[in-house]
Amino acid sequence: MDVTVDGREIPGVFQVTKQAFVYALNRETGEPIWPIPERPVPQSRVPGEQLSPTQPFPSKPAPFDMQGRTEMDLIDYSPTIGEMALQHARENDLFVDFFAPPTHVGGADGPALVCPGGGGGANITGPPVADPVEGVLFITSTSGCSPVILMNAAESPLDGDHQTGTTYSDWSRASGPGVPQAARQDQATMDGLPIWKGPVGRIVAIDMNSGEHLWMIPHGDAPQAEQDRIRDHPLLAGIPDVPTNRGRRGHAAIAATPTLLLATGQTEDGTPHLFGIDKATGERVGAVEIPGISRYGMSSWVHEGEQYIMIQLSDGLAAMKLVGM
């Protein structure tokens, strides 16, 4: 889509990634709209593997989801809660660098914890959409980490006689019984209270004319039992305005229309819905129940003067018509 940056009309192309970056480029020249400097990153701990010493870091827009686990990601509902969360994270070694060095079975380091994990950030399961008139990008993403460790490829169950080639790579993703896991993921609560800020699944709006974030909302609603557990947690007694809706992991199906952002998600009772969201504020202005959980995307069409919404479900398609058109 075309955008206006510092008074300049720019034919833009925008790529969101599983790293929670947006790469903003001039689609005619390939030049970055804002600087994308190269920064040093950790090197692999896998024998024989040589990585690039640097990786590109877009200066704008800011990341739309987590990148590693840092003190900034800890809950801070009160100074006391913030200090407790910090102590818990330090004692359990829960902080994670953005670019975690790859490790291997038999090494001294155990699995690398990658944040965002295998599902992103952004992913194909929830394609981003845009308002090309206003130049606003809408991104659905999920927060979480994945343990990743490599093993000798010839010993990996992921390689075998059924593969089309005969030459093994030296290393493969470790899989199967006996593969060590990153247990510290399971320690990220204090007596059941999550120490990391939510939401765990989100929708973010970014004005690509300025590179600034406009708003961020949870993807759907967290289960009611989860919200109650946070609301009634003894550590939070007497602390006002604690956010309980951390959303749901995974990605929404979204579509932008001239008047609304449409997004799928579940309400607190688990019922799948199609939500109408104010594009300027992120406020949910309407909801309609749909017949199943969505995946991969959604589209809007006008046929013979009537508007239709096509929603991809986990087991088929749902077609809905806007009444009153």
Measure the CA dihedral 232/236/238/243, to 10°: -80
Looking at residue 31, what is its pLDDT? 98
At 166, the amino acid letter reads T
Query: CA of 199: how far to CAs of 205, 219, 299, 308, in Å?
Result: 15, 8, 25, 30
Looking at residue 70, what is its pLDDT? 94
Contact 218, 198 (CB under 8 A): yes
**Can you tell me which residue has the tokens 């005969």?**
166
Measure the CA dihedral 171/38/40/16, to 10°: -50
Helix (H) or strand (E) segment spanning residue 83: helix 79-91
pLDDT tens over the chain, length 325 residues: 999 999 999 999 999 999 999 999 999 999 999 999 999 999 999 999 899 999 999 999 999 999 999 999 999 999 999 999 999 999 998 999 999 888 998 888 888 889 998 888 999 999 999 999 999 999 999 998 988 899 888 777 776 666 666 666 788 888 777 777 765 555 689 989 999 999 999 999 999 999 999 999 999 999 999 999 999 999 999 999 999 999 999 999 999 999 999 999 999 999 999 999 999 999 999 999 999 999 888 999 888 889 999 999 988 999 999 876 4
Contact 185, 230 (CB under 8 A): no
pTM: 0.92
Looking at residue 100, what is its pLDDT? 87
CA distance 128 to 58: 18
* Tokens linked to 13: 């192309």
- Work out whether the CA dihedral 74, 89, 184, 96 comes out positive or negative: positive
Long-range CB pairs of 235-239 (<8 Å, 24+ gap) are 235/81, 235/84, 235/190, 235/191, 235/193, 236/77, 236/81, 236/193, 239/77, 239/78, 239/81
CA distance 142 to 119: 7
Looking at residue 157, what is its pLDDT? 76
Exposed, middle or buried by CB within 10 Å (0-12, 13-18, 19+), for 282? Answer: middle
